[in-house]
A and B are shown apart, each in its own frame.
Chain A
Amino acid sequence: NAGVMQNPRHLVRRRGQEARLRCSPVKGHSHVYWYRQLPEEGLKFMVYLQKENIIDESGMPKERFSAEFPKEGPSILRIQQVVRGDSAAYFCASSSTGGETQYFGPGTRLLVL
């Protein structure tokens, strides 16, 4: 009866490298959401996905960030050419249907050196 799983829990990258964050939703959940929490700030919505579809990416930076939720496998948040300002905690949440309560994973803490 696993909840939302995220890996890695901690990720260190140098400027210019790529970061790939994975999220496995609660079994049976087909809706995935990504949020970012910058130091001393609240959670900011980034993107909402259903299987193989991006429903809303209004919170995603226009460049370097992308997300997918394939038919099989986890959802991936990908950050290309990371910069120091990308250092944050990235949380994934899932729900069984849209509009339902979202359940959060433990987060991935990204540190860009």
Chain B
Amino acid sequence: DQQVKQNSPSLSVQEGRISILNCDYTNSMFDYFLWYKKYPAEGPTFLISISSIKDKNEDGRFTVFLNKSAKHLSLHIVPSQPGDSAVYFCAASAYNNDMRFGAGTRLTVKP
């Protein structure tokens, strides 16, 4: 059961432009959402999170938006940089602490 979905396996943007990565979930019990970034041969690195009581959280170039009614969240990176090229995983957890991941979106930022 795919409770967290990232429907775009890849995304390519030009350096300096905005990158928007999307994520949908089906479990209404999820109350905490996270984005992780992963380089090849490394473990995922925590990027940013948002609680279900908020609809936006910003940290530097990264902003996460949450639309609970649509069960959708997105990660905005602006301006995008070549070093942002990686696989981005969306994750969600419910009160019982289990975390479910999406399949990932490979972001390529072209110079």
Interface residues of A (CB under 8 A from B): 4, 6, 31, 33, 35, 41-45, 48, 55-56, 58, 91, 93, 95, 98-99, 101-107, 109
Contact = CB atoms under 8 A, between A and B. Distances in A.
Given A42-B6, A91-B44, 8 more contacts: A41-B103, A42-B89, A42-B102, A43-B89, A45-B98, A56-B98, A102-B34, A103-B46
Contacts of A43: 44, 89, 91, 101, 104
Given A42-B89, A101-B49, A106 B43 contact: yes
B93 interface: yes
Interface residues of B, number: 24
Given A91-B43, A107-B43, A55 B103 contact: no
B97 A31 contact: yes
B66 to A, nearest CB: 16
Nearest to A107: B43
Interface in B10-46: 32, 34, 36, 41-46
A48 B43 contact: no
B93 A104 contact: no
B103 A42 contact: yes
B100 A45 contact: yes
Contacts of A103: 46
A59 B42 CA distance: 22
B97 A35 contact: no
Contacts of A44: 101
B93 A107 contact: no
A11 B104 CA distance: 25
A4 B44 CA distance: 11
Interface string B67-106: 0000000000000000000000101010111111111100
Nearest to B95: A99
